[in-house]
Structure 1
Amino acid sequence: MDKEYPRISFKNRINNVKDEAEKIGQMAIESHRKAITLLNKYDEKVAKEVVTKSKEIDESTFNLERMCIKFLAAEQPVAGDLMFIESTIRIASHIKRIAYLASNIADASVSIKDIQVPDKLTEDIQYMADYVQMMLSKAIYAFLDQNVDMSKELRKDDDKVDDIFDSVLEQVTQAMFEDKENIAQIINFLFIARFLERIGDRAVNIGQRTIYMVTLKKPKRGLN
């Protein structure tokens, strides 16, 4: 009976890591969801919540990384468990950056709340935001479920986001020519699109790491 105790402890500790990674991932998804609601209807209280949450996620990812390092030192995992712990450390850094990008979106949203721009521009920004939200959820749960097929989908998803960004760039440039008095405010649409694009890139990086974790084969795109 005594011989079972170390294995039980190992399972409990790795499950704690998984649970914490899922909790932080959900926090990032929710923070991004709140940030993009500000594009349609600015709410100062919600914006502050997103900014505050980014700092909380930063602290939580630091604690997750520390938990992983302690696990490595105490349990000395091998094979798949070792890859999961090492990958969790890497993915925590992506989640932290995603949270701060959501905070950047919240900060920029106040500058566009009273600006009149063509409907297509606002529709494209919102579509891009919703699409990136889908990518973020897909990336995090593909990692937690070790789903390689879902992870592979993220590359095509990112191509779609890049196409939308190109369209937004063209529209913002045109809008600035047509409304020179509000150039400083209009350019924030471009900043927001850039933040969304970078979140999409981070989602792809999470997917790539998941593929590597499961297959031990480097994906076509380089890992960050």
Structure 2
Amino acid sequence: MPIETKSDEITHHISQQFNNDLDELRNQLLAMGGAVEKQVSDAIRALIDADSELGLSVREKDTDINYMEVSIDENVSRVLARRQPAASDLRLVIACTKAATDLERIGDEASKIARFGISLSEQGEAPRGYVEARHIGSHVRKMVQDALNAFARFDADMALAVVQEDKSVDREYKSAMRELVTYMMEDPRSITRVLNIMWVLRSLERIGDHARNIAEYVIYLVKGTDVRHIGIKRMKAEVFEDI
């Protein structure tokens, strides 16, 4: 039987300073999430619009994301040392540090997309795959947004929806890759350009994976059950019994 935790149980404690410490940690994570979400959005727009200047801005801001992760890790260490949290408090701290790691990796993938976008814009001709990149990019950006909203609201049902969406992104990614491989075989002159867009699609697919990870941490935080690697069918049966 999963241990479900209400949001007020997570955010309310006898010690007001402890409340403040946990609020600060959670707010740090959500601020990092907002910055990362913008990085993803800007990277996709830089690619589609062949905007090298915006692409360079995305790459330069990746350092800021890295510093945010370090700051969150330092804050986690302070909370663990001073408060020695248990139960739902400890789950919140663990979820924050794990989610920060995934957010940093999303930022890395956004930086890669920006780099390939700059290279493609310099080549001039838009390759095949831009339509797929726009569509999958919009999909994974929404996944990141929803995962962060689920974290902000302690909403396990919204998190489950994000986990389910990752399967859809995987199908779209595999379909797009098959089409691009066929296109390269038919037109070998396009290989270099299309390979770049394939790497973009790979980064987008990984962003979806990281959004799913964050959603799984929300489920762990709220339900008290580690749902990594158990599959959606089993997750619904064992953790979301009322669905």
Q: Same fold (TM over 0.5)?
A: yes
Please give the alpha-carbon distance, in whole angstroms, between the structure 2 residues aligned to 1:134 and 1:148. Answer: 17
- Residues 38-117 of structure 1 aligned to structure 2 (within 5 Å): 38-113=46-121, 114-117=124-127
- In terms of mean alpha carbon deviation, does 75-84 or 85-94 score higher? 75-84
| Deviation of the 1:116 alpha carbon | 4.2
Where 1:184 maps in the other structure, the secondary structure is helix
- Residue 213 of structure 1, aligned match among 214, 217, 221: 221
Q: Matches of residues 138-153 of structure 1 in structure 2 within 5 Å? A: 138-153=146-161
Cα RMSD of the aligned pairs, angstroms, is: 1.7
Stretches of structure 1 lacking an aligned partner (at least 5 in a row):
1-5
Letter in 2 for 1:190: M
The alpha-carbon distance between structure 1 residues 220 and 83, as it changes in their structure 2 partners (threshold 3 A), is closer
**CA contact under 8 A between 1:112 and 1:186: conserved in structure 2?**
no
Deviation at residue 222 of structure 1 after TM alignment: 5.2
- Kept in 2: contact 1:101–1:195 (CA 8 A): yes
**1:136 alignment counterpart:** 144
**Alpha-carbon shift at residue 82 of structure 1 (Å):** 1.4
May I ask how many residue pairs the two structures share in their alignment?
216
1:3 is matched with which residue? none
Q: Which runs of 4+ in 1 moved over 6 A?
A: none
SS across alignment from 1:33: helix
Greater relative contact order (Cα < 8 A, sep 6+): 2
Amino acid at match of 1:105: I
In structure 1, what is the Cα distance between the partners aligned to 2:163 and 2:197?
24
TM-score with structure 2 length normalisation?
0.84
Could you state the TM-score of these two structures normalised by the residue count of structure 1? 0.91
Q: What amino acid maps onto 1:138 in structure 2?
A: D
1:204 aligns with 2:217: no
Structure 2 unaligned spans of 5+: 1-13, 232-243
Cα-to-partner distance string for 1:180-221 (whole Å, 9 max, x where unaligned) = 223112111110110000000001111111111111222263
1:77/1:116 CA distance change after superposition, 3 Å: closer
Partner of 2:196: 188
